[in-house]
Chain A
Amino acid sequence: MSSVLYDVPGPKARRVSLIGSIVGIVLIGGLLAFAVSTLAQQGIFEAQRWQVFAIPDVWKLIGDGIVATLSAAAVAAVIAFPLGLLLCLLRISEVPAIRIPTRIVLEFLRGMPVVLMMLFVLLVFATSPFVAVVTGLVLYNSAVFAEIIRAGIQSLPKGQREAGLAVGLTSFQSRLIVELPQAIRRMMPSLVAQLVVLLKDTSLGYIVSYEELLRKVQLMADVLGPQYLFPVFFVAAALYITINFSVSRLAIWIERRGSKKAAGGVAKAEPAAVEAAAK
């Protein structure tokens, strides 16, 4: 599409674009240089500030933080997926008495801030922060998983369900045996993209005092002294982004591979990523 929006650049336009690019890069470079020099004035780049990373305990704490983050995400994902599947089946049930209450519950879950659900579980049920974080994530993400799978089922050709019913499967059997496997495969990129959202949301654990990566950073800054806040934060943020980035790449890889293998291809991850902005 983008190539349709403008002519193939000729020599003059290419020169203008090149000059524009160079000016842009210089501008961005200038901004970065300004930021770096400001940081340097604060003494950020003094070697002794970064020597904290020579202390084994710092790495141990960072490691603990990552393990805490990943384990909360893993437990939540493992519980949320089957629950989402169940909610999806209830949501598309042909019995209004099942379908409508489920819809209300789903709307409710999707309309609430995740951190509020975490705080609710933490304070009202007096659980450990881990349980609060996992419950919050499970409640929200199972609702989103349900909506994604529902979108997948609705995107299937009508004939799939009709064929299932025609060979004598009950409505429920047709959903389970014929439609769900195809819907899940089609929606795989969106489901993985939602996993990134889930992983990102574990950082909300910071707010309900779950000892994940960000809280460990705060802890280290409190113990070692505020001057170490920036180095430790910098490393932790870089780790967080790297992990999320890898999972996002995985989603794109599945999308590419899936569009070759699955009949009818898989849905693109992008619409989900947009909806997934619904955190």
Chain B
Amino acid sequence: MDVIIENLPLYWNGFLRTLFLSAVSGVIALLLGTLLAAARVSPVAALRGFSMAYVEIVRNTPLTIAFFFSAIVLPRLGVTFQQFEVAAIIALSTYTAAFVAEAVRSGVNSVPVGQAEAARSIGMQFSQVLSLIILPQAVRTVIPPLINIMIALVKNSSIAGAFFVLELFGYGRQLANAHGDQVMWVLIGVAFFYLLITVPLGLLASTVERKVAIAR
């Protein structure tokens, strides 16, 4: 127990780094994922194909492999990063974007057909239909699954700790090595800080789900 209190500043640093990694990757993933979803329903066949291939490949790739690639293989190929955080953010955001794209797409599919038909019958183009009519309505159904994806992102960011980024898990490993006799408490401390993010987010997801649930 003492080991947690003694190293509280370290835990706090790690906690902030985890939050930072998750927030930055989350924002990039949201943007990239929405674009991918838009491409998936667009009239241009090449865009549809690209989006489909991207989602299909990324969903079947373990995140550890993505991290291994960006943190270990890329530097050997001459692409070096000033900070490994950049490698982590690349891996996390490209990976998460595929899941965001799937969630947004199923949200788009949940909007009643009549909405799109009405929009088109008053003369809107594809881009207008999507950005003014469909996406704003899709957001409501998509928010709970998106929060779940963000929870997964926070948990996934722990893998960065194994690839030279000192976030919560990274500090946890360091502390566990330094305090061999109190490993259990060290790791319980790490778990506590993760739950501090994931549990409130989970509660938020279920509250939002009940609030925005619309009968269709």
Which residues in A have some Cβ–Cβ distance to B below 8 Å? 1-2, 4-7, 9, 13, 17, 20-22, 24-25, 28, 38-39, 42, 44, 107-108, 110-116, 119-120, 123-124, 196, 200-204, 206-207, 214, 217-218, 226, 229-230, 233, 237, 240-241, 244-245, 248, 270-271, 273-275, 277-279
Q: Which one of A115, A206, A230, A245 lies within 8 Å of B73 (CB-CB)?
A: A230
Q: Are A1 and B113 in contact, with the CB atoms below 8 A?
A: yes
Q: Are A244 and B72 in contact, with the CB atoms below 8 A?
A: no
For B184, the closest partner residue in chain A by CB is: A124
Q: Are A207 and B159 in contact, with the CB atoms below 8 A?
A: yes
Additional A-B contact list (18), CB under 8 Å, known A5-B129, A279-B152:
A5-B120, A6-B125, A6-B129, A7-B120, A17-B44, A22-B46, A24-B46, A42-B78, A110-B202, A120-B184, A196-B60, A204-B64, A206-B64, A207-B162, A230-B73, A240-B61, A270-B102, A277-B99
| Number of interchain pairs (Cβ within 8 Å) | 180
Which residues in B have some Cβ–Cβ distance to A below 8 Å? 40-41, 43-47, 50, 56-57, 59-65, 68-69, 72-73, 76-78, 96, 99, 102-103, 106, 108-109, 113, 116-117, 120, 125-126, 129-130, 134, 145, 148-149, 151-152, 155-156, 158-159, 162, 169, 172-173, 176, 183-184, 187, 190-191, 194-195, 198-199, 202
Residues of B within 8 A of A196 (CB): 60
Q: Which one of B44, B64, B106, B190 lies within 8 Å of A116 (CB-CB)?
A: B190
Q: How far is the CB of B28 from chain A (nearest CB, A)?
A: 16
Known contacts: A113-B169, A274-B103. The answer to whether A214 contacts B64 by CB under 8 A is yes
CA distance A241 to B98 in the complex (A): 15
A-B contacts, 16 listed (Cβ < 8 Å) = A1-B116, A5-B129, A108-B195, A110-B202, A111-B195, A111-B202, A112-B198, A113-B158, A116-B169, A119-B169, A120-B187, A203-B63, A203-B64, A233-B68, A248-B56, A277-B152
